[in-house]
Amino acid sequence: MSLRLMELIVPTDTIEDVKQILSEQGVIDHWQVNLVEKEVLFRILTPTEHTEKISDLLSSHFSHEKNFRITLFTVEATLPKPEETESKQALEEEKIEEETGRISREELYNDVLEGAKISYDYIIMVILSSIVAAVGLIRNDVAVIIGAMVIAPLLGPNVALSLAATLGDIQLAGHSLKTNVAGLLTSFLIATIAGLLLHIDPNVSEIANRTTINIGDVLIALAAGSAGVLAYTRGVPAVIIGVMVAVALLPPLVTTGLLAGAGYFMLATGALLLTITNLTCLNLAGVITFIAQGIRPRTWWEAEKAKKAIRNAILFWVSLLIILLLIIYFRF
């Protein structure tokens, strides 16, 4: 059973109210420590899937209190081993969350935010993965191409963009868009330079296969987007899932740059269509999976804003996908 340790700071006059809330939730155990200035620290041990409901309840009751704060920690182990117990309310109201076993909204947001920001390491990894992918494509070497996808950091900004649409978070959307655009343009630029300097054979199978699109490519991108979101919401390492996202984005994008740099513009257009189609499918699947996982804003006014953002995002991605599929149908 995955566990989290929640630390709560509230005034001492709210102790009984906090205890009442905790007694009604799926809490394994809790302790309290008196602090200075009439404050108390609660340490709450709880299953991971209960943290969002508990933090929402505590926030709604006590967020207006002075120095209120909730801090969440991952628990590697605890002794004695906690029993697999659940409260009545947890059984009745959190059945879906227990089945999905996802982490809390706040923990998810913090994890996603790290991958949404442009950093020196991010750009370097994009450059290195693009160089490796270009060499692999030119040499028709599948192993080298797979190696490029392992180091490509393309999962984070795409998952962040999907989460931003799900929560209606404009700031997160801005960060993820900048990071996505920076990464894609950097990769394209590196590949274009390689296409200008090196001999490119467009008939090489690893290049030629990425100048056309079929239904399998669409299904791979949809599966990759959904798997990437599931990896984040369950709090599991997303490195392997990141390879799936890189499969859909990095090779066709680098192929586009190589062919454009070498002067094969018609073939480059096909690879570009594949890249945009895969990017569209990744984000569409990501938004739908976040919704299916029950990711919602905490407050009702944020929820209203999120509904509009979700509607607009799905409409945009579906419309774009339909346009792309029509272009592909008549072009190929």
- Going from the N-terminus, what domains does the chain have, and what CATH number goes with each? 3-100 (3.30.70.120), 105-331 (no CATH)
Q: How far is CA 39 from CA 12, 19, 35, 278, in A?
A: 5, 15, 5, 52
pTM of the model: 0.78
Encoding tokens for residue 321? Answer: 């996908």
Question: Which stretches within the chain are classed as H helix?
Answer: 15-23, 51-62, 88-93, 95-100, 105-116, 120-139, 142-151, 155-167, 170-197, 205-208, 215-233, 239-262, 265-292, 300-331
pLDDT score for 108: 86
Look at residue 240 and tell me whether its pLDDT is greater than 70.
no
**∠ CA 138-223-292, rounded to 5°:** 150
pLDDT score for 238: 61
What backbone torsions phi and psi does residue 39 show, to the nearest 5 degrees? Answer: -120, 155
Please tell me which residue, 331 or 221, carries the higher pLDDT value.
221
Look at residue 228 and tell me whether its pLDDT is greater than 70.
yes
pLDDT score for 205: 94
Sheet of 39-47, strand order: 29-34, 39-47, 3-11, 69-75
Give the largest CA-CA distance in the chain: 75
Q: What's the chain's length in residues?
A: 332
pLDDT score for 87: 45
Look at residue 97 and tell me whether its pLDDT is greater than 50.
no
Mean pLDDT of 24-39: 87
Mean pLDDT of 190-196: 97
SS3 of residue 84 by DSSP: coil
Give rounded-to-5 percent helix, strand, coil for the chain: 70, 10, 20
Residue 186: other Cβ atoms inside 10 A: 16
pLDDT score for 17: 92
Distance CA 106, CA 4 (A): 13
**Contact predicate 55/49, CB 8 Å:** no
pLDDT score for 242: 73
Query: 62-66, 158-162, 230-234, 243-247: which has the minimum mean pLDDT?
Result: 243-247
pLDDT score for 252: 94
pLDDT-derived band at 332, boundaries 50, 70, 90: low
pLDDT (tens digit per residue) in 10-21 = 999 999 999 999
pLDDT score for 207: 95
